[in-house]
Structure 1
Amino acid sequence: MLLRLLVQRAAKLVITLASIVIFLQGSIAIVTHQLIAKLIFNDDPVRRQKHLDSSKKTFILLLVTILTIVAPSKVRITTDNHTIAKNLVVCDPKTGRLLSSLKRKSVMISNHQIYTDWVFLWWLAYTAGLGGNVFIMLKKSLQRIPIMGYGMKNFKFIFMNRKWSRDKINLANRLSDMDHNARGVGELAGKRIAHKTADGLEIWNDKGSTEVDHKQICWPYSLLIFPEGTNLSQNTRNKSEIFASKSNLPIFRNLVLPRVTGLRFALQELKNSCEVVYDATIGYSGVKQHEYGQDIYKIGNIFLKGHSPDVVDIHLRAFDVHDIPIDDESKFTEWLLNIWREKDELLDRYYATGSFDSDGSMKQVVTGTCKIQGYEMARILALPCLTILILAIMIWSKYA
C-alpha cells in the first residue's frame, strides 16, 4: 500500500513537472517566433501576420498537447439540425480526431463554467482549420502575465477594463480592424484609416460598406465571446439574482444573466463580414446541477494534476447575423434573454440525462478525443524532449 502511494505521488509530480516544462518552453518559443517575425518582416505586414497567426495556432497546440498528456478528455458535439447542416462536425474513424467545417468569419457565444471553456472552444475552431484565427475578449489584467501576456498582445486578443466608457473605443478599433481585414480592405491590404478622433477612435472612409476585395487576402476570424462575463459560481449567481430581481429580469437555474452591450456592439461592428453567430452551450461530466464547474475543475488541477472531465459536451446551433435584431436595443435584449432561457432548459435536460441529445431526430451527435495531429504534437514536444535528453546526458557523464 505504501509503495503504491509513493508511486502515485511520484507520477503526479512527474505530470506536474512535465506540464510546467512543456508550457514554459512552448511559451518562450512562441514569443521568440513572434519577435523574429516582427523584426524580419517589419516592412511586409502580410507575411508578418501569417507568422503571428501561426504562433497563435501554436499556442492552442501547446495547450492541447499538455491536455492530451496529463488530462485527456473526450468531446461530444451535439448540433441542432434546424440551424446547422448535418456533418458540420465529423469524426475521422482512423484517428478518432474531430473535424469540422465551421464558417470562416463567425462570432461564437457561450455560457461560462470553468476557466478552460475557451480552450475547448478554441480547439473546436482548430478542427475547422481556424486555430490561428481565434480572437478572445480577456480581462486587461491578463496582459501582465509574464511572457504570454506579450504573446497574447501579438495574438490581437481584446483586453477589456470591464468599464464600457473605457472599453468602447478600443473594442471599436479592434473589431473594425478585424472586419476590414476579413473583407480584404483593411490595413493588411495596404489600406489606411482616414483619421482618428480626439479620443482615439479610428475612422474609415467606407464605414458601413460591404465591399469585398477578392484580389486581396480575406483574413478569417472566429471571435469568442462569453456574454456572462465571468464563470458561474455561487458569488456570481447571487449577484445575478439580486440584479435580476431589481430589474425585473429572469433568474436562470444554470446560468447568470448575459451582458447585452458588448455583444450587441460587436455584432454591429462585424455585421458586414460576419457569416454566422454560433451559440455554444457547454456541460461537463462530473458536475451536477447546483454545483459549480470552476470548483471541481480548477485550472491548476487540470494542467498540473491531470484532474479533468471525462467528457466535455458542447451543443451548437447557428444564427444568421442579419436575422438578429442588433439595431434595436430592446429587441436585441429580448433575443439574447430568449437564447439564455433556451440554454437554461438545455442544461436542465443535460443535468437530468447526462447528455444534450434528448431527441435524436432533432440533433446529430459526434464524439471524439480532444487532440491534435500527431506531427503537430511531435513538434510541440521536440524541444522539451531535447532538453530532457541533454540533461540526461549531462547527468550520465557526471556520475557514470
Structure 2
Amino acid sequence: MQIEVYADDETFELLGKEHALVISNHKSDLDWLIGWILAQRSGCLGSALAVMKNEAKVLPIIGWSMWFSDYVFLERSWGRDERTLQSGFERLADFPMPFWLALFVEGTRFTQAKLQVAQEFAASRGLPVPKNVLIPRTKGFVSAVTHLRSFVPAIYDATVAVANSQPAPTFLRIFRGQSSVIKVLVERHSMRGLPETADGIAQWCKDAFVTKDAMLEKYFDKDIFSDKKLQDIGRPKMSLFVMIFWSGFLAYATVRLFQWLSLFLASWQVIAFSVAFLFLVTFIMQILIQSSESERSTPATNFTLSEGTRQSLLPK
C-alpha cells in the first residue's frame, strides 16, 4: 500500500511532535492501517490511539493489540459511551509522550449503500446532500474537544482518498499482494481556534466535512487532489529489518516446533497437528477479512451549513 501525504511544511514538521486529535473520513476498510503507517513514519506509532467500536477488540492479534494499547472502545450507546469517552480522555492528560487520538466522526465505513441512506436523509431534511462522505456524528467530537482542548494543542483534519481508477485497499488485496495508492491531505487546526460552545464545535465539524466533500468531488471530477505540498514520508530501513528478523525467527521457531513434536508423536499425530495449525491460521485470516465488511449506518441529524462555509463553496 503506497501512501501519498499532502501537507504544508509547518504541519508536516509538527507531525509526531505534539499531542493531536485526528479526524478523518472513513474511506476504506484499512483506514486504521493507514493511520498506523503515518504514525510510524512520524515517530509516534507507540502512542497512536483511536476510538473504535467495541467489537474490534476481539479481532485476533490486531484487535488484541489495540486493547492492550489502551484504545477507547465504544458500544454505540451514548448513555454508556459518554462515560467511557470521558474516562478515556482523562487518562490522556498525563500521557508521557506525544500521542495521536483518531476519531472517525462518520461512525462507520463509507459505502455506496450508506451514502444513499445519508443522501436520502439530507434531502428529506433540506440539508446539504453529501456525495463522497457520510454525515458526521458530532457528540463524540464535541466531547473530545471539550475534554482535550486544555492539553491537546491541535486537530489534524485528514482527508483520505483512493487514487482514481484504483480499488480501495482490503485485507484480501494485501494477502494477494495487490497494492493501492492512498492520498492523504493533513490540515492542522489550533484547538484554541475552535468555538467554545458545544453547538459551535459541532457546527465546525459539520462544516469541515462539507468542505471535505467538496474537495473530494473536485478530485474525482478533475483529478486535482490538493494544492498542498506532496511530502516525502520515507520508508525507514529499521522497520524492514525488524520485519525480516521476526519473519525469520517465527519461521525457524515453527520448524523447530515440528521437529520437536516428531520426537514424541507418531507421524499421523504430527500431520494432524499440522493440519489443525493451518486450519487455525486460515480461520484467523478469514476473520480478519470478514471484519472489513461494511456495516449498516445510521445517519446523523441536525446537519446545517454555516454561512461562511456556504459562501466558500459557491461558484466564483
TM-score, normalising length from structure 2? 0.74
Residue aligning to 1:321: 191
Residue aligning to 1:376: 242
Residue aligning to 2:104: 226
Residue aligning to 1:123: 37
Is 1:154 paired with 2:68? Answer: yes
Is 1:308 paired with 2:179? Answer: yes
Residue aligning to 2:170: 299
Please list the CA deviations of residues 213-254 of structure 1 after superposition, one character each: whole Å capped at 9, or x if unmatched: xxxxx3332101111111111221122123323443311111
- Distance in 1 separating the partners of 2:61 and 2:38: 25
Query: Quick one: which of 152, 177, 182 aligns to 2:91?
Result: 177
Please give the secondary structure, in 2, of the residue aligned with 1:112: coil
Please give the secondary structure, in 2, of the residue aligned with 1:283: strand
- Distance in 2 separating the partners of 1:299 and 1:101: 26
Please give the secondary structure, in 2, of the residue aligned with 1:85: helix
Unaligned runs of 5+ in 2: 268-316
Taking a change above 3 Å as real, the CA distance of residues 287 and 168 of structure 1, as seen in their structure-2 partners, is farther
Maintained 8 Å contact 2:16/2:98:
no
Where do residues 267-278 of structure 1 align in structure 2 (5 Å cutoff)? 267-278=145-156
Residue aligning to 1:211: none
Is 1:347 paired with 2:216? Answer: yes
Maintained 8 Å contact 2:142/2:201:
yes
**Structure 1 residue 378: Cα displacement:** 2.8
Unaligned runs of 5+ in 1: 1-72, 90-99, 183-217, 289-295
Is 1:165 paired with 2:79? Answer: yes
Please give the secondary structure, in 2, of the residue aligned with 1:121: helix
**Structure 1 residue 298: Cα displacement:** 5.8
Taking a change above 3 Å as real, the CA distance of residues 330 and 368 of structure 1, as seen in their structure-2 partners, is closer
**Structure 1 residue 273: Cα displacement:** 1.0
Where do residues 250-269 of structure 1 align in structure 2 (5 Å cutoff)? 250-269=128-147
Please give the secondary structure, in 1, of the residue aligned with 2:129: coil
Maintained 8 Å contact 2:19/2:154:
yes
Query: How many percent identity over aligned positions?
Result: 22
Maintained 8 Å contact 1:105/1:221:
yes
Residue aligning to 2:284: none
Taking a change above 3 Å as real, the CA distance of residues 150 and 118 of structure 1, as seen in their structure-2 partners, is closer
Query: Quick one: which of 202, 209, 214 aligns to 1:333?
Result: 202
- Distance in 1 separating the partners of 2:213 and 2:97: 34
Query: Quick one: which of 138, 159, 163 aligns to 2:52?
Result: 138
Maintained 8 Å contact 1:109/1:280:
yes
Query: Quick one: which of 17, 36, 51 aligns to 1:103?
Result: 17
Please give the secondary structure, in 2, of the residue aligned with 1:156: coil
**Structure 1 residue 284: Cα displacement:** 1.1
Where do residues 38-77 of structure 1 align in structure 2 (5 Å cutoff)? 73-77=1-5
Larger displacement relative to structure 2 (146-155 or 167-176): 146-155
Q: Which amino acid aligns with 1:301?
A: L
Please list the CA deviations of residues 357-377 of structure 1 after superposition, one character each: whole Å capped at 9, or x if unmatched: 3x4xxx211255666623322
TM-score, normalising length from structure 1? 0.59
Residue aligning to 2:285: none
Residue aligning to 2:230: 365
Aligned residues: 263
Taking a change above 3 Å as real, the CA distance of residues 331 and 344 of structure 1, as seen in their structure-2 partners, is same
**Structure 1 residue 384: Cα displacement:** 2.6
**Structure 1 residue 262: Cα displacement:** 0.4
RMSD: 2.9
Please list the CA deviations of residues 258-298 of structure 1 after superposition, one character each: whole Å capped at 9, or x if unmatched: 1111011011111111021001101112557xxxxxxx436
Taking a change above 3 Å as real, the CA distance of residues 255 and 148 of structure 1, as seen in their structure-2 partners, is closer
Maintained 8 Å contact 1:75/1:369:
no
Taking a change above 3 Å as real, the CA distance of residues 220 and 101 of structure 1, as seen in their structure-2 partners, is closer
Please give the secondary structure, in 2, of the residue aligned with 1:238: helix
- Distance in 2 separating the partners of 1:368 and 1:269: 31
